[in-house]
Amino acid sequence: MRVLIAGGGIGGLTAALALDHFGHDVFVFEQSGVLDEVGAGIQLSPNGMQVLSQLGVSARILKDAFRPKALEMRMGRSGKLLFDIPLRKAAINRWGADYLHVHRADLIQALYEALVTRRPDAVSLGRKVISYQKDDSGIQATLDSGEMIEGDLLVGADGIHSVVRAQMLGAEAPRYTGMTAWRGIAPVSALSHAPPPTATVWTGSRRHAVTYLLRGGSLANFVGVVERKEKHLESWTAEGSREDALADFKGWHASVTGIIEQAPVLHRWALFDRDELPRWSDGRTVLLGDACHPMLPFLAQGAVMAIEDGYVLAREISSDVPLPDALKAYETARKPRTSKVQAGARENSKLFHRSNPITQLSTYGPMWMAGRMMKGFIHSRNDWLYGHDVTLG
């Protein structure tokens, strides 16, 4: 098939590689004039790495990644360790692939290089899909230039504010969660207290932070989430002030506040939740990633779910069934899993924000005990997530 993809982010580029892997012609239209990401890190768990390995890009990603030693939880102010669970060898031994921390720009570049090496004309920059028209025999995507592009299938991988989804299902009404997120990256060489070489959650009253290392340990990544009534923009690129970020984490451990102090830029955005979509496809148009199941960040699975989507979509439309049936099979395969991940992320948002000593003790005390006596049990709670390999389906 001739497949048009709206969006050249992680989901769109992975889908393009997967579709090429299964023998389809792919054309990606990205609204930005450059393939780049605002400075941010992501966690690539083994379920995502299985796909990237199958598509031949895992070695390239490893070059710029960081392998965390463990999963940790600490108290935000004191830094007291609640539990640490070994991860480097355990991820490969238990779930069959690496657990990595990667700069988004590095992942985007790896996917882009792999795609254009195989199909030099596959990516068009500075061209945005703004609408589509369909009939029984094909689909036309209209670009912001007015140009009409014909294909057999349009994939809406155009993110949380998807224009493809808006045309398919109408305007949405996202719910503000009462939380605002911060993000920043600082050179480790500039920090007097570098964060641990782990994926660390720092918990506190009505707020939490996550720290981890990128690019071989040379950069420190910070994400902080704070409960607040006032809303901000739902935008990855909106900036916030250093003073406000430091005020939100006043008195916290230096491993957290040090990154805030040294990050060249701090971004701040509001977190919104959304209802499950009634359907993911419309004739010859289909959605994936944040366009159809945007994730709150509390399971670190937003990018990985988009990666899984891309592979499953490519596999299903390559089967010997009519396209509408293949798209339905894709949704049937993916929706229960993505809904479970969304629910898990919502639950973690409560877990990380215990607001008084009694609830903290009742929650984190058993976790402290389990972290010392039942590390295998904690690993087992992630088997359904990290041990799932869509390439075997």
Residues designated catalytic = 212
How many of the other CB atoms lie within 10 Å of CB of 238? 13
In the chain, alpha helices (H): 10-21, 46-54, 58-63, 88-90, 104-118, 163-169, 242-248, 254-262, 302-317, 323-351, 357-373, 375-380, 383-386
Classify the phi-psi angles of 22: left when phi > 0, otherwise alpha if psi is within -120 to 50, otherwise beta: alpha
Q: 270-291 b/e with 16+ CB inside 10 Å = b? A: bbbbbeebeebbbbbbbbbbbb
Instruction: Establish how many alpha carbons lie within 13 A of residue 250's alpha carbon, considering only the half-sphere containing its beta carbon.
Output: 4
Tell me which DSSP letter residue 66 carries: B
Kindly state the tokens that stand for 130: 């703004």
**What single DSSP character describes residue 159?**
-
**For the chain, what's the residue count?**
393
Residue type, 339: S
Tell me, letter by letter, the H, E, C secondary structure of 69-81: CEEEEEECCCCCE
If DSSP codes are grouped into helix, strand and coil, which group holds residue 191?
A: coil
Q: Is 356 exposed, middle or buried (0-12, 13-18, 19+ CB in 10 A)?
A: exposed
| 153-156 vs 285-287, strand pairing mode | parallel
C-alpha 168/C-alpha 304 separation (Å) is 24
